[in-house]
Amino acid sequence: MKITTVTKHFKTPLYLESGRILEPYDIAYETYGELNKDKSNVIVICHALTGSYHAAGLYEGDRKPGWWNDLIGDGKCIDTTKYFVICANVIGSCFGSTGPMSLKYPLNEPYRLRFPVITISDMVKAQISLLDSLGIYEVYAVIGGSMGGMQALCYAIEYPHFTKRNIIIASTYATQPWAIAFNKVAREAIIKDPKFDSGMYDVKDIKENGLNGLAIGRMSGHISYLSENSMQKKFGRNYVETEGLYELFGRFQVERYLDYNGYNFSKYFDPLSYLYITKAINIFDASRNYDSLEDSFSNIKSHLTLLSVKSDQLFFKEEMEQIQKSMKKINKGNLVDYHCIDSDYGHDAFLVEVEKFVPYISEALK
């Protein structure tokens, strides 16, 4: 599989939904496979909150491959001998695309809290400008899970002729208060960490030592990514160490998991990016600029494949079903395939039990 990693610099302005302008801006992206002559084999992959452009392949020296490596590759479900797959880091993130810690032109110092509010539509708009710069004006499919699914839905509504297939996984039509509440815990933990210092944190220190608030926020996120059953199976009530008589002072396995993942995460993800991206997720509402969800969906011309997860505790399957319902209401039920994946893994299922999604994604790509 041919992998190319690029950071592309744009000198043209990106007009944001807020009315503000990003200019200049960068988009970091990765491609897998090769673009065919008539540019008809493009699949766009949209990543989730903390994901990056590195969706597949193993870098030299790395222990873990890209986040959807089980799905994307030569001979795999998203077959890179056949498709040209592209995954761009969303603007606002911290893996190469312009985000809050990028240098603000012409000041030559980071935006930090001066960075504009970004929406899901803005993320998609940036991707469209990237594809445009590559001479790609329509694609074979757009696929995304979680926040990636919001982008895939946004493509269908705002760029109805751009793609024929939108595969939306473990996502929602509008972020509900339950998910906003989990984000709230994280956002509050970050903002109230004295080391966050109103966004003026010491980057070197954060990279070395992490930010407690971000670690705690990540723990809150992890709860919502799992499910009661997956936690039960994975950790039970097992202790990992005991310090005193009996087990009274011990640490539970689930606590070690959250510690490890939380503090590790806080060393490589940028706290301001976390704030900006969770904000984008919170304000996502596919009907926001329309009278209703149905009104918004009336634009849709492409085929939607909706894959929910039965045990998803972040974006409940009922939210995905609402998309189908609203499409049916405007007599576009024929454009929708909906499947609920029977997995105990909760929201994370689309990353950890990829094999259960493969048949439906394969079918959708036919």
Residue type, 208: E
Residue 85 · residue 56 · CB < 8 Å: yes
Answer yes or no: 222 catalytic: no
d(CA 123, CA 233): 36
d(CA 263, CA 107): 32
Q: Which of 222, 303, 332, 347 binds its own copies (CB under 8 A)?
A: 222
Compute the C-alpha angle 320/322/326, nearest 5°: 130
Burial 89-104 (b: 16+ CB within 10 A, else e): bbbbbbbbbbbbbbee
d(CA 286, CA 173): 6
Q: How many residues bind its own copies (CB under 8 A)?
A: 55
Answer yes or no: 97 catalytic: no
Nearer to its own copies, 80 or 224 (CB): 224
d(CA 314, CA 317): 9
Nearer to its own copies, 59 or 249 (CB): 249
Helices (H), strands (E): how many in the chain? 12, 16
Q: Applying CB under 8 A, which part among 50-58, 101-109, 222-230, 354-362 lies near its own copies?
A: 222-230
Q: Which of 5, 12, 18, 362 binds its own copies (CB under 8 A)?
A: 18
Nearer to its own copies, 165 or 222 (CB): 222
Contact flag: residue 212 with its own copies (CB under 8 A): yes
Pair of tokens at residue 102: 């990028």
Answer yes or no: 132 catalytic: no
Binding map of its own copies across residues 273-292, x = CB under 8 A, - = no contact: ------x--xx-x-------
Footprint of its own copies on residues 100-139 (CB under 8 A)? Answer: 117, 119
Contacts of 139 (CB under 8 A, 6+ apart): 42, 43, 44, 131, 162, 163
- In the numeric block, the tokens 């097992």 are attached to 238
Binding map of its own copies across residues 234-273, x = CB under 8 A, - = no contact: xxxx------xxxxxx--xxxx--xx--x-----------
Catalytic positions: 146, 312, 347
Contacts with its own copies by CB under 8 A lie at 17-19, 117, 119, 174-178, 180-182, 184-185, 188-189, 192, 194, 212-213, 215-216, 219-220, 222-223, 226-228, 231-232, 234-237, 244-249, 252-255, 258-259, 262, 279, 282-283, 285, 313, 316
